[in-house]
C-alpha cells in the first residue's frame, strides 16, 4: 500500500493552527451530531451534548492528540434499536434513559479494555483490512452527505439543486486553493466563513443548519449546559439483561473505530498514539455521557482528518473544538444556524477525497489476489453493514488465508544415514491446518526400524500438532519401530511436556545431535540408561 502522507501538510503543529482547526471542526460537528441524533431517535441536543463531552474528554485524556471524537453513525445505527425497544418497554421517553444507562456499561467495558491493554490487538489488523476500512468509510461519509441534498424528504431539483452544487463547488475550490497560497491558513474555516458571508450577503435561498434541523423535526440548537442525572430506569436484572448485549456491541464498535482511526492518524502524521490510553479515555467519555445526557460516541475519522489537514496536531485542537461547540450551543446558536449546509458538505467532500486510499487502484495488480479480495470485502461490508462487522470479517478471512498458505509450506527432507536410520527434516510450522500434509510425508510401512524427526526448522504450534505427532508415534510403535523427535524448540518441548498425560511422544533433548556420531550403539545405550 502506498503511503497517504501527502494528503496532510508536514507540520509539527502550533497553537494558532490548533485554534483555527478546532473552530473549523466545531462547525463541522454541528450537522453531524444533529444528523446522528436523528438516526438514533433522540433529541438533537442529546447528540450535540454527546459530541461536546466525547470531544473534550478524549482531547484531554486520550492517547492520540489531534484525533476528534463525537457522536458517530456507526454507533447511532445500533442505538436506534436500543431506543425503540426501550420506548416499547417503558413509554415514549424511556428509550433515551435506557440509552444513558447502556452508556454507563459501555464506558466500563471500554475502560477495562484499556486497563487490560487490549488496545494492542489493533496490531493484528492487516494492511488490506485497513485499506478497505478507509475506503469504505470514505464512501459512507460521501453517501451521508448526499442526504443533505434533500429538502422536506424530497431530492432537490431545479434552481435549489444548482445553487447547492455551486456553493459546494465554491467551498471545495476555496479549500483547495487557500492552502496553496498560504499553507498555514485555516482553509476549511475560511471556506465556511466565505460561503456563509456570500449566502447571507446576497440573501441566497439555500438550506442552512437551522432549516436542516427543522426539516428533521427539531427546533434549534440553543440550550443550556448539560446537567447531571442518574438514568431513570428500573435497576433490575431484566434491565441488565436487556442493555448488556447492546453495551458490548457499542463498546466494540466504538473501540474498533477509534483504534482504526488512531492508526490512520498515526500514519498520516508520522507519529505514534497510545491505543490503551485511548480506550480508557473513550470509556470515561461514554460513561460521562450516560450521567450527563449525551448520546456518547467514538473517534470520527472525517472530523479527525479535517483537524489534521487544517494543521491541528495537539490536544488544544480537540479542546478548542469542544469548547467552540459548547460556545455555539450557549451563545451563538443563531449565527451557527445561518451557516449554509453546502459549505459543510463541501468540506466533507474534501475529507472524502483525502480519506479514500486512491493508491488502491495502483496496487491491485501488484499485491496477492487474497489481499485484493479482503480490501473489496471490507469496503463493501463497511458500506452495507458497519465497521465492526467489516473489520471482524476482514481479520478472520486474512487469518484463514494466512493459515492456509502456511499449511502448504510444511515439507520434509528425507535422508537415510550410514547406520540405516531414516531422518525426516521438517520445514515449516506444524499446526491445525498443516497436520494432514505433515502426515502424508511419512511412510510407516516401508521405513526402517529407527526413525528420527528433526524439528530444527519447524515448530509444534498447538494441540492439533501434538495429537498428530502422538498419532504418528503410535503408528510407528504398532509397526514395531522406534521414532524420536529431535531439535525441538523450547516452546515446542514445553507444549509436549504439558501434554504428556494425553499423548506419548519420544522427545530426545540432544543439543549435540548424538545420532550423528559413528558409534550409534553407544547412542542407543545412552537412551536406555536415561530411561531407567
Check pLDDT > 60 for residue 503.
no
Nearest CA-CA partner of 215 in 146, 157, 148, 158: 148
> Is the model's pLDDT at 387 over the cut of 50?
yes
* Nearest one of 335, 263, 252, 338 to 304, comparing CA atoms: 263
Which of 101-110, 222-231, 487-496 is predicted least confidently?
487-496
CA terminus-to-terminus distance, the chain? 59
pLDDT of residue 500: 65
Residues of the chain with pLDDT > 70, as a percent, come to: 90
Q: How far apart are CA 169 and CA 236, in angstroms?
A: 54
Please give the share of the chain, as a percent, with pLDDT higher than 90: 43
Which tens digits make up the pLDDT trace of 290-330? 999 999 999 988 889 889 988 898 999 999 999 999 998 88
> Torsions phi, psi of 456, nearest 5?
-60, -35
Beta bridge partners of 428: 458
Q: Shortest CA distance to 297 belongs to which of 96, 28, 77?
A: 77
Q: Give the model's pLDDT for residue 267.
A: 86
pLDDT value at residue 509: 57
Q: What is the pLDDT of residue 101?
A: 96
pLDDT higher at 354 or 265: 265
Beta strands in 313-446 (DSSP E): 411-416, 422-430
Q: How confident is the model at residue 77 (pLDDT cuts 50, 70, 90)?
A: confident
With a CB cutoff of 8 Å and minimum separation 6, the contacts of 267 are: 3, 4, 5
pLDDT value at position 508? 65
- Of 193, 165, 158, which is closest to residue 178 (Cα–Cα)? 193
- Residue 427: beta bridge partners? 411, 457
**pLDDT tier at 33, thresholds 50, 70, 90:** confident
Check if the beta carbon of residue 254 is closer than 8 Å to that of residue 298: yes
Is residue 429 a contact partner of residue 405, using CB atoms and an 8 Å limit?
A: no
User: Is-contact 424 412, C-beta < 8 A?
Assistant: yes
Counting Cα atoms < 13 Å in the Cβ hemisphere of 185 gives 14
Query: Which of the given ranges, 52-66, 168-182, 223-237, 244-258, has the highest pLDDT on average?
Result: 52-66
Higher pLDDT, 166 or 350: 166
Contacts of 372 by beta carbon, 8 Å cutoff, 6+ apart: 128, 364
- Packing angle, helices 463-478 and 490-498, rounded to 10: 70
| Residue 21 cell numbers, joined | 482547526
Domain boundary assignment for the chain: 11-215+236-400, 411-531
In 3-state terms, the chain is what percent helix, strand and coil (to 5)?
65, 10, 25
Residues 58, 60: Cα–Cα separation, whole Å: 5
Which pLDDT does position 160 carry in this prediction?
92
The owner of cell 466500563 is 108
Measured CA to CA, the distance from residue 274 to residue 31 in angstroms comes to 29
pLDDT, position 34: 77
Which SS3 state, helix, strand or coil, does residue 260 take? helix
Class of domain 411-531: alpha beta
Contacts of 497 (CB under 8 A, 6+ apart): none
pLDDT, tens digit (0-9, with 9 covering 90-100), for 405-417: 888 889 999 999 8
Mean pLDDT of 163-189: 88
Long-range Cβ contacts of 119-122 (<8 Å, 24+ apart): 119/63, 119/255, 119/259, 119/274, 119/275, 119/276, 119/277, 119/278, 119/279, 120/275, 120/276, 122/259, 122/260, 122/262, 122/263, 122/275
d(CA 495, CA 460): 8
**Which of the 8 DSSP states describes residue 116?**
T
Amino acid at each position: 500500500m502506498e503511503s497517504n502522507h501527502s494528503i496532510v501538510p508536514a507540520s509539527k503543529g502550533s497553537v494558532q493552527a490548533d485554534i483555527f482547526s478546532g473552530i473549523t471542526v466545531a462547525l463541522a460537528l454541528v450537522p453531524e451530531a444533529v444528523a446522528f441524533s436523528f438516526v438514533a431517535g433522540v433529541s438533537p441536543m442529546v447528540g450535540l451534548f454527546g459530541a461536546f463531552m466525547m470531544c473534550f474528554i478524549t482531547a484531554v485524556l486520550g492517547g492520540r492528540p489531534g484525533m476528534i471524537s463525537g457522536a458517530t453513525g456507526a454507533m447511532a445505527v445500533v442505538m436506534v434499536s436500543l431506543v425503540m425497544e426501550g420506548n416499547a418497554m417503558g413509554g415514549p421517553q424511556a428509550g433515551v434513559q435506557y440509552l444513558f444507562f447502556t452508556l454507563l456499561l459501555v464506558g466500563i467495558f471500554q475502560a477495562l479494555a484499556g486497563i487490560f491493554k487490549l488496545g494492542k490487538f489493533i496490531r493484528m489488523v492487516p494492511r488490506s483490512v485497513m485499506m478497505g476500512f478507509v475506503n469504505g468509510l470514505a464512501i459512507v461519509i460521501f453517501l451521508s452527505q448526499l442526504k443533505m441534498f434533500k429538502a422536506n424528504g424530497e431530492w432537490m431539483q431545479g434552481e435549489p439543486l444548482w445553487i447547492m452544487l455551486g456553493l459546494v463547488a465554491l467551498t471545495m475550490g476555496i479549500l483547495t486553493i487557500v492552502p496553496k497560497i498560504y499553507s498555514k491558513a485555516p482553509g476549511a474555516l475560511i471556506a465556511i466563513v466565505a460561503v456563509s458571508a456570500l449566502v447571507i450577503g446576497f440573501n441566497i435561498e439555500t438550506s442552512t443548519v437551522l432549516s436542516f434541523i427543522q426539516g428533521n423535526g427539531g427546533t434549534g440548537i440553543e440550550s443550556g449546559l448539560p446537567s447531571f442525572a442518574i438514568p431513570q430506569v428500573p435497576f433490575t436484572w431484566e434491565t441488565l439483561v436487556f442493555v448488556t448485549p447492546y453495551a458490548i456491541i457499542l463498546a466494540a464498535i466504538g473501540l474498533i473505530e477509534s483504534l482504526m482511526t488512531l492508526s490512520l492518524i498515526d500514519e498520516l502524521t508520522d507519529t505514534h498514539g497510545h491505543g490503551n490510553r485511548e480506550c480508557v479515555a473513550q470509556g470515561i467519555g461514554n460513561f460521562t455521557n450516560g450521567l450527563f445526557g449525551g448520546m456518547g460516541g467514538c473517534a470520527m475519522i472525517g472530523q479527525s482528518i479535517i483537524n489534521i489537514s487544517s494543521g491541528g496536531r495537539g490536544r488544544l485542537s480537540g479542546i478548542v473544538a469542544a469548547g467552540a461547540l459548547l460556545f455555539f450551543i450557549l451563545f451563538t446558536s443563531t449565527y451557527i444556524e445561518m451557516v449554509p449546509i453546502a459549505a459543510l458538505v463541501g468540506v466533507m467532500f474534501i475529507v472524502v477525497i483525502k480519506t479514500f486510499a486512491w493508491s488502491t487502484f495502483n496496487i491491485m495488480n501488484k499485491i496477492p489476489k487474497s489481499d485484493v479480495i479482503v480490501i473489496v470485502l471490507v469496503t463493501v461490508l463497511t458500506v452495507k453493514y458497519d465497521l465492526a462487522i467489516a473489520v471482524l470479517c476482514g481479520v478472520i478471512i486474512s487469518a484463514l488465508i494466512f493459515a492456509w498458505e502456511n499449511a502448504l509450506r510444511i515439507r520434509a527432507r528425507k535422508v537415510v544415514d550410514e547406520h540405516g536410520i531414516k531422518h525426516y527434516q521438517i520445514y515449516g510450522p506444524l499446526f491445525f491446518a498443516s497436520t494432514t500434509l505433515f502426515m502424508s510425508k511419512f511412510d510407516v510401512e516401508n521405513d526402517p526400524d529407527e526413525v528420527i524427526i528433526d524439528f530444527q526448522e519447524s515448530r509444534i504450534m498447538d494441540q492439533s500438532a501434538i495429537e498428530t505427532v502422538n498419532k504418528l508415534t503410535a503408528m510407528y510403535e504398532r509397526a514395531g519401530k522406534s521414532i524420536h523427535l529431535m531439535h525441538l524448540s523450547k516452546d515446542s518441548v514445553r507444549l509436549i511436556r504439558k501434554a504428556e498425560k494425553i499423548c506419548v511422544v519420544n522427545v530426545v533433548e540432544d543439543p549435540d545431535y548424538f545420532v550423528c556420531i559413528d558409534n550409534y550403539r553407544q547412542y542407543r545405550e545412552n537412551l536406555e540408561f536415561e530411561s531407567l
